[in-house]
Chains A and B, each alone.
Chain A
Amino acid sequence: MKRLILKLVILTLLILSSDIIIGILLRPLISKIPNGRYFKIYHTFYKTDAEMVLIGSSACETGVNPEILEKQLGLTVWNGARGDQTLLYFEVATDKLLERKKVKTIVYFIESMRFETEIDISGISQLKPLTIVDKSLIPYISQGRKLEEYFLKSNLYACNSLSYYLIRPMLSSKSIDGGVETKGQKVKIGSKSSLLNYKYKGISFKGVYNQQKVDRYLMMFKKCRDQNVNVIVITLPRCNPPYELSRTIDTLKSMQDEGLFRYFDYYTDQRFIHKPEFFYDEGHFNKEGANYFSEILAKDLFDSCSLRK
């Protein structure tokens, strides 16, 4: 029995020391990794001094050119959107931006059926490595899962499934996410052949309306309002909007009457619908589309929200 316990203790000590060494090595490295996954989040949460920050998923990351917004509105803009991210990322990004008290306007890009799906916890797990430098992120990532909360105290587990994304930016010249030179935008060139050959089929989305999600979005907007930060909500256009009905859009339209945010719906905007030349794929603008859309968005924001400095 004693021998077995001794063996288990040695093994545990070995793992624990590896965990500490990994933490020591990664802590300075994470913030220095070239443009890529962690840099983008790190910059959005802890570095950006932009007056306007865009929060969304990959459609926003590729689809909005901050430079055009800056020129038109005279504000500094950072595109803090990230692929695969939804409500949970929006919440943590909002809290981190509000903590730093630099941001004046947050623009949320909410997809057309976002209130009709379950809360997705997979995307937020991509933030795990940042727990090595900021333990306050743990509750956002664990979302009440006790095991996850406990595991996230480990530096090794913080790299779980993500070392690929840690290493890749150092091996490849092509950045994974938008970098500083494009103010966070990830520029896509051209159009995918599948998009050009697409045959339009309208379908009704049969999701279940998720009130819990709506409440959490509202709570997030209220936090911004309490700190005098403007909230703008946008639904981006799609090349061939697949869903004929969207309760999310209706809800957002009715919710904006409460005065928490301004809402702009471009989901079925005729300037983009069935125009593959503006899109990289079904839901992502290419460079031309992003620039064209950013011009329109800047004008609308200028006209309706008096956001110009």
Chain B
Amino acid sequence: MDELQLLRSFGKNVADPSVDALSRGRRGLVEHIGLQPAIAKPNSKKRFAFFGGTTALAAGALVATLVFTDVLGLAGWRGGADAAAASALSDAAAAAIENSDPVVGPGQYLKIDTEAVFTGGVQTAEWEHFAYLGTQDSQMYIPADDADDWVLVTEPRAAIKVFGEGFEEEAQESARAGFEEEQISRAPYGSFDNSKPRDWRLDDLPRDPQQLLNYIYRVTAGHGVSADGQAFDFISTTLRTGVVPAELRAALYLAAAGIPGVEITDEAATLNGRTGVAFGREEKDGFLHEIIIDPETGLLIGERTVQLFDSKMDLVFAGEVVGWTAVTTTVVDAAPAGGSLCGNGGEPVNGFGSGQCSDPNRPRTD
């Protein structure tokens, strides 16, 4: 018996986790996930440490209250976006407010058309790695009344760029697997895939830009690579839902103007045929994250991520756009018919729970 076999035999007899521990862990995860649909939940311990310094400067209940209501916070203490970016974001915010949102009348739908490209990767049977850019396009129809069916159309996928010679066929296969055909799902309250009712919790967000940015720093504290990067990511993730009303969009632009490191990274960035100004922030992990805004209308065109280093495992080199999302929001009179309930034939996704999305009385809140 060599040392490895010995070591393995030592580890061999470990039992599986108890059913109790397994379900406890799962419950914890599901609860954790449920607490944060689009918004990261703050880690209470880290948040405490985070604000420990601030409150110590002027201890007292008043300051604590001001922090908690986001009147005071991290925003503005360490500067903000560079001057040109801040000024352009402020113009975009003004444009957003001038161009009011379309109104969804009774029987109509808000249609969110999302064209997304992501980097997928495959390891072949011969241990070779390659990466590809794959599409992930969808349209979501949100009814005027949340209790009516929401409709999600998922387009067939395809690989549009392959990093690595001779892998074109495998890339297409990988991109299409499970998404060969258009799929239509419907679910009241947007509970697709048996998820909880779709709620972006936009009402929780302060409309004052300074308070909004404090709020964002507070709820994202302790997450991500850096506090500023995570705050920018929050803004980008919220915007790309396509459901953000004009006044909140304007506040988010102004909040972005308060984040150090944000600058104009492309004066004429084209995404999906539309051209706008890219505001980006370079993160320590080697990615440039950008939001692209149409300066005329203040509408978000989309977001994209640029890799700034050469990958070790595949042929993705610095400067490559490794993902983007273009979002268009319109009001339409009808949504496609047919499709499966819950996006899953009404069956629970993981074998837990039961057809929740078919229950019209399911509460919206967690």
| Chain A bound to chain B | no
Interface of B toward A, CB cutoff 8 Å: none
